[in-house]
Structure 1
Amino acid sequence: MITAVPETLVDGAIALLKSLIATPSLSREEGPTADLIATYLSQHGIASQRVGHNVWAQNRHFDPQKPTLLLNSHHDTVKPNASYTRDPFAPTVEEGKLYGLGSNDAGGCLVSLLGTFVHFYDRTDLAYNLVMAASAEEEISGRGGIEQLLPHLPPIDVALVGEPTQMQLAIAEKGLMVLDCTVHGRAGHAARDEGENAITKAMPDLQWFQTYQYPKVSSLLGPVKQSVTIIQAGTQHNVVPDTCTFTVDVRVTEQYTLEEVLAIIRANVQADVVPRSVRLRSSGIAVDHPLVQAGLALGRSMYGSPTLSDQALLPMPSLKCGPGHSERSHTADEFIYLHELEEGVVGYVALLAGLVLR
């Protein structure tokens, strides 16, 4: 069953997105956009609550006996990069595109979810509850975002996370573990045969990170991927360095826990390996989950996503889906098509209409 969506709902979502673009909301500085979101909900007769810069609300006829679906997207943005040719905070429509920082990631998803929440807010016949959460600090995986908000929400059974997927169904997502590695040598004069060069000692470790293949490969997400992204050693040309430090970006599939991958790494390299966090885990949802099946019934396709979102911090099953294109995220002169915004609202409403959670 596809429920008709009032044109005013789409227009309101677009107007809200323009206001969000015009209001800088870098991570940890989202207060003004939180105000805008709370005002939007209030204008539709919806009382919201706030935890830090996170804004949330629940449907009018919330019933603790029913399962609860979380609608979540974020309202923080990355910093505009130096390649912008437009004012990143000036919402401009040209040739069907709405330009502006955060328009695609993830403003379009956020306003589409908010419009969807407004649409269903007063319904008395829902088979589930709705909780809407506009979260902060997603772009930095900060502790002041969805992680801070979750304890204040009612129990959640499943989450729909708004990120640009062209409205396709990302049913799995890689986790992230960043490692700081240190190899120790012994300083000496470069002109003499003395000291123990930490750079030379680090080479086998660097080679291992480049070539090692984890045995278990995910059917959706592929292999675990690890990349050395930063390396530092030495202070003078004539001194053998006694320390070499390097950073490794590890993208982990559902085939391994972060702890399992960390144990494998420590067993194979000589460097001291310190993870910055083991919070950002691989996430996903079963193919036979009613939320996924509802998407498939609408002709959507499934895939595994290599990019990280707030899903990594959600302990319940979660589906990532939203308007926009992931490849536009964090790019100069970011934009989203107006027709994508309409498809977002209509698509979300269609996904939720008739949904039965068990």
Structure 2
Amino acid sequence: MIESLTIEAITLLKRLIETESFSSEEDKTALLIEDWFTTHNIPFNRDNNNVWATNKHFDATKPTLLLNSHHDTVKPNKGYTKDPFTAIVEDGKLYGLGSNDAGGCLVSLLATFAHFYDREHLNYNLVIVASAEEESSGKNGLNSILSILPKIDVAIVGEPTLMHLAIAEKGLVVFDAKVKGTASHAAHPNDDNAIYNTIAVLKWFKVFKFERTSPVLGDVKMTVTQINAGQQHNAIPSEVELVVDVRVNDSYSNQDIADILTENSPCASIVPRSLRLNSSSIPMEHDLVKAGIALGRTTYGSPTLSDQAVLTCPSLKLGPGDSTRSHTADEFIYLAEIEEGINIYIELLEKVL
């Protein structure tokens, strides 16, 4: 049965690759996932482009384990040498946009869910969600259906981790900041040039260190990623706009970070866009983590963001593929990684279900 599920999973992944599914435009891949559930005689639900199902013998008195991955993609970059929307198999690699991030994870979790779907007397209920808008942290993604899902007690979020255990994940806060100055004609003296004032501000962001580090996630990482000022060559602008990307460890809440930057940064203003994408983690002593370690998997902290950020329960990031391939040109996943991923997911859940 596992062998046939693996073949079906790879077939589905090829179909997903060949169906455009940019964030908020995943309606066609949602239909493919609906078709997969129908083929396996599994009742499903759909809300916007999120497709989800529960195990056959769901018991509200038991805790619930969420299996989640996303079916949206980023847009292909200009470095592609292969058609990003053609599933190409070469030398054991399956090429195509979304193959690694996170199609391989999604189809592996779907196969795993199908394996356990009609099993009785499980210790956990299972809920699987193929979510939308993960890449854009959109309003109609996993976060939008948490209130209609059964209460989630723990989650496995499928992202490429080489099937090792990401037991913590950094949160994200994006800030819009302004540096002020005095507007004037470029031909006249000006000791309050907003652009020149920005030099000291940029240096502050470069050298500032948040005090608390994390044994799993390390330091908070703060990076100025965008800068914008001026409209014409002969006019000194009155302000410079900055965008600051902050990756938050589990020693701070996002509100902590906002408070620290509001109080300490040398900007005229600095405002967070959102505080909802918090860091996440799962205790080392959790049964899922212990089961993974027993299977020879290592643990680490992940610097990248996923749908874990919208969950309030303990969550584990785990999936086939390699995060360093995500969003790269000629994205691919090894077929053997999908086979291994399904087997490890099933072996892991056999130890806890």
- The answer to whether the 8 Å contact 1:187/1:195 transfers is no
- Supply the distance in 1 between the matched residues of 2:219 and 2:119 (Cα, whole angstroms): 44
**Cα displacement (A) at 1:194:** 4.0
The residue that corresponds to 1:279 in the other structure is 276
Q: Deviations over 1:211-260 (max 9, x none)?
A: 01111111111110111111112223332221111111111101111111
SS in structure 2 of the partner of residue 69 of structure 1: strand
**Cα displacement (A) at 1:266:** 1.6
The residue that corresponds to 1:342 in the other structure is 339
- Supply the distance in 2 between the matched residues of 1:193 and 1:97 (Cα, whole angstroms): 61
Q: Give unpaired runs (5+ residues) of structure 2.
A: none
The residue that corresponds to 2:167 in the other structure is 171
- Supply the distance in 2 between the matched residues of 1:209 and 1:265 (Cα, whole angstroms): 10
- The answer to whether the 8 Å contact 1:102/1:334 transfers is yes
Query: Which stretches of structure 1, 4 residues or more, deviate above 6 A after TM superposition?
Result: none
The letter for the 2-side match of 1:116 is T
The residue that corresponds to 1:10 in the other structure is 6
The letter for the 2-side match of 1:275 is P
Task: State the identity as a percent.
Answer: 58
- The answer to whether the 8 Å contact 1:169/1:302 transfers is yes
The residue that corresponds to 1:317 in the other structure is 314
- Supply the distance in 2 between the matched residues of 1:241 and 1:82 (Cα, whole angstroms): 33
- Supply the distance in 2 between the matched residues of 1:205 and 1:34 (Cα, whole angstroms): 45
- Supply the distance in 2 between the matched residues of 1:26 and 1:233 (Cα, whole angstroms): 31
SS in structure 1 of the partner of residue 328 of structure 2: coil
- Supply the distance in 2 between the matched residues of 1:194 and 1:166 (Cα, whole angstroms): 55
Which residue of 43, 53, 68 corresponds with 1:72?
Answer: 68
Which residue of 237, 248, 259 corresponds with 2:244?
Answer: 248
- The answer to whether the 8 Å contact 1:196/1:240 transfers is no
- The answer to whether the 8 Å contact 1:234/1:241 transfers is yes
- The answer to whether the 8 Å contact 1:230/1:247 transfers is yes
Alignment of 1:89 onto 2:100: no
- Supply the distance in 2 between the matched residues of 1:158 and 1:140 (Cα, whole angstroms): 24
- Supply the distance in 2 between the matched residues of 1:231 and 1:139 (Cα, whole angstroms): 23
Distance 1:273 1:120, change over 3 A: same
For residues 234-245 of structure 1, the aligned pairs below 5 Å read: 234-245=230-241
What is the aligned-residue RMSD (CA, Å)?
1.1
SS in structure 2 of the partner of residue 73 of structure 1: strand
SS in structure 1 of the partner of residue 351 of structure 2: coil
Which residue of 134, 139, 142 corresponds with 1:138?
Answer: 134
The residue that corresponds to 1:56 in the other structure is 52
- Supply the distance in 2 between the matched residues of 1:151 and 1:40 (Cα, whole angstroms): 25
- Supply the distance in 2 between the matched residues of 1:101 and 1:192 (Cα, whole angstroms): 52
Which residue of 316, 323, 328 corresponds with 1:331?
Answer: 328
SS in structure 2 of the partner of residue 261 of structure 1: helix
SS in structure 2 of the partner of residue 138 of structure 1: coil
SS in structure 2 of the partner of residue 218 of structure 1: coil
Q: Deviations over 1:89-145 (max 9, x none)?
A: 111111111111100000000000000000000000211100010000000011100
The residue that corresponds to 1:289 in the other structure is 286
- The answer to whether the 8 Å contact 1:171/1:318 transfers is yes
- Supply the distance in 2 between the matched residues of 1:34 and 1:96 (Cα, whole angstroms): 27
SS in structure 2 of the partner of residue 72 of structure 1: strand
- Supply the distance in 2 between the matched residues of 1:188 and 1:139 (Cα, whole angstroms): 41
- The answer to whether the 8 Å contact 1:136/1:146 transfers is yes
TM-score for both structures, normalised by structure 2: 0.98
SS in structure 2 of the partner of residue 151 of structure 1: coil
The residue that corresponds to 1:112 in the other structure is 108
TM-score for both structures, normalised by structure 1: 0.96
- The answer to whether the 8 Å contact 1:91/1:99 transfers is yes
- The answer to whether the 8 Å contact 1:168/1:302 transfers is yes
Q: Give unpaired runs (5+ residues) of structure 1.
A: none
SS in structure 2 of the partner of residue 353 of structure 1: helix
The letter for the 2-side match of 1:101 is L
For residues 154-169 of structure 1, the aligned pairs below 5 Å read: 154-169=150-165
The letter for the 2-side match of 1:239 is A
**Cα displacement (A) at 1:7:** 1.0
The letter for the 2-side match of 1:280 is L
SS in structure 1 of the partner of residue 168 of structure 2: strand
